[in-house]
Amino acid sequence: MHEVPNLKLNNGVLVPQLGLGVWQAKDGTEVERAIAVAFENGYRLIDTAKIYGNETGVGNAMKASGLKREEIFLTTKLWNSDQGYDQTMRAFDGSLQRLGTDYVDLYLIHWPMPKVGKFTDTWKAFEKLYADKRVRAIGVSNFMVTHLEELLSASDLVPAVNQVELHPRLAQRELREFCDQHDIEVESYSPLMHGGEVLDEDAVKQIANRHSKTPAQVVLRWHIQNGLIVIPKSVTPSRIKENIDIFDFELTAKDMAAIDAMDNGGRINPHPDNLNQ
C-alpha cells in the first residue's frame, strides 16, 4: 500500500497527486477489476467521464471497495454535446445516477469547444452545482490560455483544475505558468503518451537504470516533481501497481533537465481549438 501526497486546490479541497485514469476501460468487469487493484494499492483518485461509458462500473467498484465515500476522490466530466446551462444540469444528474453517488469531488468541462461558444454558459451551471454542494470542486479540461482568459473574464469562480494532455514531449510550459499565476492546478492526462512512446527515449532508460526503476516510473516521477496531478491509465494489475510505486525515490536536477529537453510540442490528441463536436 502506497501513500500518495495531496495537493490543496484553490478552494481548500485536498486532491491526491496521483490517481487512476479509466479512459478506454470497458464498463463492467474490466473497469471494476482495475479499480479494485488500484484501491488495494493505495490509489484514492479515480478519473472517469461520461464519454468513457464506464461511470456505472466505476460506481460499482466504489461500492464494492468497502471504502467510505469520503475516502475516494471521484472526477467525472461533461461531454461536448451536453454543453449549455440546462443540458449541463441534466447531464450531471445522469452522471450521478450512473455513478451511484450524491456528489462528485471534481467535475470538469471536457473540452472548450470554442467555435460552439457555450463554455461560459456551461460554467454558470458548474457554479450552481458547486454552490449547491453537489460537487466539491469544479474545473476544466483541454483549456488553453485563451479559453481560460475568456472564462475568467466572465466568472468570479476560478477553475480549481485544468486537466490537459501533458508529457515530456508536450510539457505545456506557457499554460502551466498561466495556471500557476491563477492558482489553477494542472492535471496530466496521457502522461506516458498513448503507446508509451516516450518510454523508449534513451535518456529515460538511462535515468531508470540509475534509480533501479522502470521508464514509466521515471516519467511519472517527473510529473510529480513538477507539481502536477497525474492520472496514468491502465487495466493491467502489474502496471497499476508499478505506476504508484514512485514515492521512494527522487529525480536529480540533471535528470529533470534531461527529460525537460524532450519537449517538442508533440501533441497526440486534437488541438483544443480544432475539436468542435
Alpha carbons 74 and 133: distance in angstroms, whole number: 14
The rounded percent of the chain whose pLDDT value lies above 90 is 93
From the list 52, 85, 103, 107, the catalytic residue is 52
Grid coordinates belonging to 112: 472548450
- As a whole number of angstroms, the distance between CA 161 and CA 271 comes to 19
Domains of the chain: 13-199+230-235 (3.20.20.100)
Q: Which three cell numbers stand for residue 55?
A: 461511470
- pLDDT given for residue 228 in this prediction: 98
Closest C-alpha among 193, 196, 140, 204 to residue 165: 193
**Residue 163, SS3 per DSSP:** strand
Is 72 within 8 Å of 57 (Cβ atoms)?
no
For residues 39 and 63, the answer to whether their CB atoms sit within 8 Å is no
Report pLDDT digits (tens) over 42-100. Answer: 999 999 999 999 999 999 999 999 999 999 999 999 999 999 999 999 999 999 999 99
At residue 274, the pLDDT reads: 85
Residue 277: per-residue pLDDT: 60
119 pLDDT exceeds 80? yes
Q: Is 264 left (phi over 0), alpha (psi -120 to 50) or beta?
A: alpha
End-to-end CA distance of the chain: give it in Å, rounded: 41
Q: pLDDT value at position 2?
A: 79
Give this prediction's pTM.
0.96
* Bridge partner list, 187: 163, 229
Distance CA 27, CA 169 (A): 31
Helices 145-153 and 173-181: crossing angle in degrees, nearest 10, is: 20
pLDDT value at 276 more than 80: no
Catalytic annotation on 43? no
pLDDT score, position 270: 87
Q: Which whole number is the average pLDDT over 183-194?
A: 95
At residue 156, φ and ψ (nearest 5 deg) are: -95, -15
